């Protein structure tokens, strides 16, 4: 019975991981393209956005490591993916309302960066327990 469950368990994991990866790549490529092509951001504004996306990766692991040890890693992975998806989906209604500006995108990039850092930390701790 264990041999039958293992492939489906891995299929679910790798499918979810692939969907998560596509969303992450959209935030890496899609948001900067949107800012340049639609909003007309210049080099200074783009530098600020890129810095805000990377800032949580510098400071976040000091908080993320202990947090990952305290909570259920699987739920944390799903929760951070949902936060990232909600943050990316929020761009569409904000754009339709005309409410997208530099400050909104800076906050969005900080949120996405923090969620990415938490997700990556949890994934490194989760894999050895999921695939013994």
| pLDDT string in tens for the chain (132-residue length) | 455 455 577 788 888 888 888 888 888 888 999 999 999 999 999 999 999 999 999 988 888 999 999 999 989 999 999 999 999 999 999 999 999 999 999 999 999 999 999 999 999 998 888 776
Taking CA atoms, 117 is separated from 9, 24, 53, 108, 131, in Å, by 25, 12, 10, 14, 22
User: Which pLDDT value is given to residue 2?
Assistant: 52
Tell me if 60 sits within 8 A of 117, measured CB to CB: yes
Contacts for 112 with CB less than 8 Å, ≥ 6 apart:
27, 53, 84, 87, 88
Q: Which of 62, 66, 50, 67 lies closest to 112 in space, CA to CA?
A: 50
User: Which pLDDT value is given to residue 7?
Assistant: 58
User: Which pLDDT value is given to residue 47?
Assistant: 94
User: What's the CA gap between 65 and 70, in Å, rounded?
Assistant: 9
Q: Which of 52, 42, 49, 39 lies closest to 95 in space, CA to CA?
A: 39
Q: Which of 27, 15, 28 lies closest to 90 in space, CA to CA?
A: 27
The whole-model pTM stands at: 0.87
User: What's the CA gap between 130 and 132, in Å, rounded?
Assistant: 6
Tell me if 102 sits within 8 A of 41, measured CB to CB: yes
Helical packing angle, 43-59 and 2-37, nearest 10°: 150
User: Which pLDDT value is given to residue 129?
Assistant: 83
């Amino acid at each position: 019975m264990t041999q039958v469950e293992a492939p489906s368990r891995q299929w679910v994991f790798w499918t979810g991981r692939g969907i998560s990866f596509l969303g992450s790549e959209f935030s890496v490529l899609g948001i900067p393209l949107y800012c340049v092509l639609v909003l007309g951001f210049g080099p200074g504004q783009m530098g600020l956005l890129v810095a805000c996306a990377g800032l949580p990766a510098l400071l976040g692991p000091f908080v993320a490591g202990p947090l990952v040890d305290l909570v259920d890693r699987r739920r944390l992975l799903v929760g951070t993916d949902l936060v990232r998806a909600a943050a990316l989906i929020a761009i569409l209604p904000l754009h339709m309302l005309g409410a997208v500006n530099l400050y909104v995108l800076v906050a969005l990039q900080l949120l996405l960066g923090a969620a990415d850092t938490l997700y990556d930390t949890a994934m490194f701790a989760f894999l050895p327990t999921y695939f013994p």
